[in-house]
Amino acid sequence: MPKLRRTHTCGELRREHVGQTVTLAGWVDTWRDLGGLVFIDLRDRYGKTQAVFDPDRGRELHDAGSRLRTEWVVALRGKVSARPEGTVNPKLDTGAVELQVEELEVLNRCPPPPFDITGGDQASEDVRLKYRYLDLRRPEMQRAIILRHRLNSAIRNYFDAHRFVEVETPILAKSTPEGARDYLVPSRVQTGTFYALPQSPQLFKQILMVAGYDRYYQIARCFRDEDLRANRQPEFTQLDMEMSFVERDDVIGMIEGLCVEIMQKVMGRALATPLPRLTYDESMRRFGCDSPDLRFAMEIEDISDIAAACDFKVFRGVIEAGGQVRGLCVKGAAEKYSRKGLDDLSQFVTNYGAKGMAWFKVDPTGLAGSIAKSFSAAHLIAIRERMKAAPGDLLLFIADQKAVCNQSLGVLREKLGADWKLYDPAELHFSWVVDFPLLDWDAEEKRWGAAHHPFTMPHLTDLPKLESDPGSVRAYAYDLIINGEEAGGGTIRCHDPEIQKRIFALLGLTPDDVERRFGFFVDALQFGAPPHGGIALGLDRWVMLLSGLTNIRDVIAFPKTQRASCLMTGAPSPVDDRQLKELGIRIG
């Protein structure tokens, strides 16, 4: 056991502690030998304190201090003193004091670490993930993990104050494949059968509503075997909530209250409500996507009617083929793009399905560019007015089918917003997108699929069209958007078993399919299911956004790579043949 027991943290000491004898424990952050005095910064998760080894207090102690190295774990006992005039460090909370070391205990040594933990040379992500226990010592990582803790605390306090009950739902569940692939777990006691790790507690939380627990929440661990990106992980955490006897605005209001609480208690900022709200159709029309970044105002404009009447064959041909011509006005950018720069933007949009990009520069005389001669003066004036363009602006157009226009212009808008710094990256902008389609058409499978999930309630006014015109049916579905990222998604659920059966039929599920996959759930709906709805918020993504980071792995203590592997532990890994035999599994 250590001889020296910590009395204070490394972020605690202030001027009022001067003269006190204290003991600190932590990691050597930096050390400096100035030819007489040895200085070290001792670090723990609370902060740093400068400690001084003075040879006047003993040569042996001084020499021991000079042998310390980065990331050694030590305990230091000594007297707190004010720093000499001119040496106060205003960047540290402890910067007005230092510890005059009187006793040192080395608790553990450390070889030279594989990267600079103090924030100098940044290692590759693979190295950081392999040595995650070192990476987690970095102040940037600690801030994110602690912010995550504070977020979870605020959530629990908020829902407790609003009479919600926290209920844990199973991790070993039934596979009900719909959407992403399940992670399967073989059963040893029932050979040939499998559990599925939950993609969401969706069915369990709805059953809790049937059971009378009218306000439920859970900070739930979920699993999806899907292709990964910077903002996705195979296992992730979500705030899951459900309420009975509610309509859409009740759920939205409860979550807006939570957003206000989080911004105030976690971020120290005010948030005005009600939050801006767009319909799905409006969001796609104005911004080309269903999760628009509203920190900047650049909107997509449609010139299809003008294009249909012009002499430019590319535009007119697209219109005649049932497509659209839509574009963006980039304010003040006309002279900031060379021809090569415009070619690069054109190449960029081809990655999202577009065949290219047309452009005009706006000068005092009108619209200029290689295609301008293909338009009449009246059409050029009409385009300029439609685009609300002024001299010095740049107009960018995509001519294609609706889906391609949406996707390519949506990502182009995001790129331009970032490239031209059209928003404050520290800003947090919250909004809602509502009234999503109930169903999406899968051209490859040639069938309808659920836009959110199969348990969503259609708009009651659209119910008569459910079988005759499924694509036009709107859902009571709503997404919370923060800075252009989907931060949560929810719906009012289908509590009527007959409507639920109609939706299953549209999805191509036979009665036998429904019984095999969802029989237990349909049975539950028949036993007095109340009207209910809820939402799930992706907490990993929330922490990423609140931290101002761009990679979700930086806010998870032990994340997976984009190949769903853990570089620190080596998971996934082979298992013994004996284990496979017990499970009735043969590989190869």
492-527 tens-digit pLDDT: 999 999 999 999 999 999 999 999 999 999 999 999
The H or E element that residue 159 is part of is: helix 139-161
Contact (CB, 8 A) for 504 and 316: no
**Alpha carbon 450 to chain centroid distance?**
23
Q: How many CA atoms does the CB half-sphere of 461 hold within 13 Å? A: 3
pLDDT score at 444: 85
- Arithmetic mean of pLDDT, 396-406: 97
- 274 preceded by cis ω (within 30°)? yes
Query: If you average pLDDT over residues 351-355, what whole number do you get?
Result: 96
First to last CA, the chain: 51
CA distance 439 to 423: 34
Provide the CA 457 distance to its chain's centre, in angstroms. 26
Walk me through the domains of the chain, giving residue ranges and CATH numbers: 15-108 (2.40.50.140), 142-279+431-555 (3.30.930.10), 296-422 (3.30.1360.30)
118 — pLDDT class (breaks 50, 70, 90): confident
Judged by DSSP in three states, 536 sits in: strand
- The predicted structure's pLDDT at residue 178: 61
Q: Which class for 177: exposed (0-12), middle (13-18), buried (19 or more C-beta within 10 A)?
A: exposed
CB-based contact 200:224 (threshold 8 Å): no
pLDDT in tens, 50-69: 999 999 888 999 999 999 99
pLDDT of the residue at 179: 63
What span, in angstroms and rounded, lies between the C-alpha atoms of 245 and 423? 40
Separation between Cα atoms, residue 113 and residue 116, nearest integer Å: 7
How far apart (Å, rounded) are the C-alpha atoms in residues 89 and 97?
9
Which uninterrupted H or E stretch holds 125? helix 125-130
Q: Is 173 helix (H, G, I), strand (E, B) or coil?
A: strand
Residues in the chain: 588
Give dist(CA 522, CA 500) in Å, integer: 8
pLDDT surpassing 90 at residue 454: yes
Q: How far is CA 4 from the centre of its chain?
A: 43
Q: Mean pLDDT over residues 453-475, rounded?
A: 96
In the prediction, which pLDDT does 120 show?
54
Omega within 30 of 0 (cis) for the link into 112? no
Confidence of residue 1 (pLDDT cuts 50, 70, 90): confident
Structure confidence at residue 34 (pLDDT): 83
Question: Among candidates 263, 258, 211, which has minimal Cα distance to 239?
Answer: 258
549-583 pLDDT, tens digit per residue, is 989 999 999 999 988 999 999 999 999 999 998 99
Pseudo-torsion of CA 66, 67, 73, 74, nearest 10°?
A: -50
Residue 404: pLDDT above 90?
yes
- Residue 202, phi-psi category: left (phi > 0), alpha (psi -120 to 50), beta (remainder): alpha
Token reading at 414: 């995001």
Strand pairing of 430-434 and 277-279?
A: parallel
504's CB contacts (< 8 A; 6+ apart) are: 454, 513, 514, 518
Burial 233-259 (b: 16+ CB within 10 A, else e): bbbbbbbbbbbbebebeebbebbbebb
Helix axes 280-287, 402-419, angle to 10 degrees: 60
CA dihedral for 144, 148, 154, 157, sign (positive or negative): negative
Supply the pLDDT for residue 77: 98
Query: Which residues fall within 8 angstroms of residue 217, CB to CB, at 6 or more apart?
Result: 155, 159, 164, 165, 166, 239, 240, 241, 242
Q: Is the pLDDT at 446 greater than 90, yes or no?
A: no
Mean pLDDT of the chain: 95
Pairwise CA distance, residues 442 & 426, whole Å: 38
State percent of the chain over pLDDT 70: 98
Angle, alpha carbons 473-476-480 (nearest 5°)? 125
Q: Across 12-65, where does the E strand assignment appear?
A: 21-33, 38-44, 47-53
- HSE-CB at 357 with a 13 A cutoff on CA atoms is 26
Q: How high is the pLDDT of residue 121?
A: 58
Query: What are the tens digits of pLDDT across the range 183-232?
Result: 999 999 998 999 999 999 999 999 999 999 999 999 999 999 987 665 68
The type of residue at 551 is N
Largest CA distance in the chain: 92
Tokens of 197: 């790790």
Q: Rounded to 5 degrees, what are φ and ψ at 407?
A: -65, -50
Q: Is the pLDDT of residue 37 over 60?
A: yes
**Does position 132 have pLDDT exceeding 80, yes or no?**
yes
Position 18, amino acid: V
